[in-house]
Amino acid sequence: MSHLPQDLHDIFPHDEALLRRLKAEDRHFRALADRYAALDQEIGQIGLGLEAASDARTEELKKARLHVLDELATVLAEARGAA
């Protein structure tokens, strides 16, 4: 199983400036972004065979990453609306 890291700047290419601003100014957004990056890295390690995990654990991590991504998208949408 291969894994390509999913950087937030790749997922939200039209929001680069907003991503940078929120990471710098919004503690909650920064915590979510850090959690997303940690989950993505862990999933990548599993995909490369560098870390062992059951299929159930891998799916649990992917669901958690998707949940965090949804939260990030919500914050971005709210910030776009407030701008």
Q: Which domain holds residue 35?
A: 20-82
Domains in the chain, number: 1
**Coil, helix or strand for 53?**
coil
The residues, ordered by sequence, that sit 6+ positions from 3 with a Cβ below 8 Å of its Cβ are 43, 44, 46, 47, 48
Q: Say if 2 falls within a structural domain.
A: no
Encoded tokens for 42? 């862990």
**Which ranges of the chain does DSSP label H, i.e. alpha helix?**
8-11, 16-25, 27-47, 55-82
pTM: 0.88
- Give the Cβ contact number of residue 32 at 10 Å: 20
pLDDT tens across 4-24, in order? 658 899 999 999 999 999 999
Q: Say if 12 falls within a structural domain.
A: no
Q: Say if 10 falls within a structural domain.
A: no
Residue type, 43: I
Please, which pLDDT band fits residue 56 given cuts at 50, 70 and 90?
Answer: very high
Say which residue, 3 or 12, is predicted with more confidence: 12
